[in-house]
Structure 1
Amino acid sequence: MAVTKIPAETARQLLRPTWLRAGITTAFAFFTIIWHGNAWFVDFWDGNDLTVARFVLAGFLVLAASMIWEYAKQEATPQVLQGALAAGAAAWLVAGVVIILVGSTTPVALAAGLAFLVLGVAELYAGLKLRAEFVPARDHVLLGAIGAATGIGLIAWWGLDIHGVIGIAGMGMILSAVLLLINAAGMTHEVRRSA
């Protein structure tokens, strides 16, 4: 099976939002790795684990939503994917605001779970629909599946403490970060090769 390359102009347009989304997702994934199993890091917050986790999760969702929206509005992004990503970015933005406003773990888990699920299903749907005509759609299929699974995990185990919520979100975002970094590196290669 031949490998299909991303057209250079498409890669050029999508490169910045892809790298920024990858960086934001990697930073959040790194936070979740440090968060678990590191007693000093947890104790450093002096019992304010929920507050710190809420602000970090909300910040991640809002910043990533802005990069998802930037990706969606590029001319190279097909209309079906634009609509799907816009809906997902809106869900992430709303969830980020809700997470800041609520004061307990269950609403945080539900808001984040619904946001991951909405974007995941949207990316999965658009990726499957466009996979024959838009090369990056394959990455959206995988990102969508990971996001939907993360959302389902957060909703299904809504009684977790904040460490469990961050753990489930972190597992999904570690996988997403790896995929986004590979995707961004591939786009960078195509842009440089065409220069």
Structure 2
Amino acid sequence: MSQKIDLDTTAVIYRPVLIRAGVAALFGIATFFIQEPSDAIVNYGSAIFFLFSGSAMWEYLRRDPVPEAMRTPLSLMAAVWMLAALTLVGVQLGGVSAAVTWIVIAAALGLSGIAELWAFSWRKAFAPARDHLIAGIAGIAVSGILVFVQNLDYHRIFGITGTYALIVAVLIGISGIGYWLDTRKAVKEDGYVPPAP
């Protein structure tokens, strides 16, 4: 997947890409194993997922190879996730109903999905931008499911959000591992010295 991407790019972005994938994988696996989540687990768990995903995206977008103009949708994505995290904590502390939780999560995934598709438009100038296509489609699709499915309880909200996280974990994880392997191979076999992050 990363064969046409220059080593200076892969060496700098593989860490934040793998961190995003790891955060998504941990959250997705947690939603699979926790079959009867309480409101606190859903709200705080989702808040932690959005918080760490936003942090990983911030680390990604501030790297030098990322085009300046592409940082706008990526910043929007990170901001939406951070705001969603804060809102979900407020929802839990305020004792608000499950309906508000699903509205917050649906809005966060829908807006971030749109931002990911916007970031995808830079794929010709920055090849890693192509990774945002499926993640963006998944975010919009899951947002739509959350909006149109009736009688959503915490179990369903958690499961649907976890499905999105697992899709992102696999997609982004494959790319991140590819970037890491390319960089590692060049360092070991060719004596490549990666730039500072």
TM-score bucket of the superposed structures, by smaller chain: 0.7 to 0.9
TM-superposed deviation, 1:156: 2.5
- How many equivalent residue pairs? 183
Pair 1:158–1:81, CA change in 2 (3 A) = farther
Give 1:109's aligned residue: 102
Match of 2:41 in 1: 52
- Matched with 2:28 is 29
2:74 aligned residue: 85
Q: Which runs of 5+ in 1 are unaligned?
A: 37-41, 43-47
Residue-by-residue CA offset, 1:143-190 (whole Å, 9 max, x unaligned) = 111112122222223640011111111111111110111011111012
Q: Which runs of 4+ in 1 moved over 4 A?
A: none
Shift of residue 88 of structure 1? 0.9
In 2: Cα distance, 1:87 partner to 1:170 partner: 22
Aligned twin of 2:4: 5
- CA offsets 1:48-77 (integer angstroms, 9 cap, x no match): 711111111111111110111111111111
- Partner Cα separation in structure 2 for residue 110 and residue 59 of structure 1: 17
Q: 1:143 aligns with which of 101, 116, 135?
A: 135
SS for the counterpart of 2:66 is coil
**1:171-186 alignment to 2 at 5 Å?**
171-186=163-178
Q: Residue deviations 1:8-42, cap 9 Å, x none?
A: 11111111111111111000010111123xxxxx3
> What is residue 185 of structure 2 aligned with on the other side?
193
Q: Which has the higher contact order (CA 8 A, sep 6+)?
A: 2
Counterpart residue number, 2:119 = 126
* Superposition pairs of residues 15-26 of structure 1, within 5 angstroms: 15-26=14-25
2:114 and 2:140 in contact (8 A); partners too: yes
Of 2-11 and 71-80, the range deviating more from structure 2: 2-11
1:19–1:181 Cα contact (<8 Å) kept: yes
Following superposition, the deviation at residue 3 of structure 1 comes to 7.8
- Determine whether 1:75 maps to 2:64: yes
The aligned amino acid for 1:108 is: T
Identical positions, percent: 29
**Aligned partner letter, 2:172:** L
106-115 or 131-140, which moves further after superposition? 131-140
| Alpha carbons 2:113, 2:135 under 8 Å: kept | yes
Q: Quick one: distance in 2 between partners of 1:50 and 1:158?
A: 18
- Provide structure 2 residue ranges, at least 5 long, that are not aligned to the other structure: 188-197
Q: TM-score, normalised by structure 2?
A: 0.87
Change in Cα spacing, 1:80 to 1:143, as seen in structure 2 (3 Å) is farther
Match of 2:84 among 92, 95, 99: 95
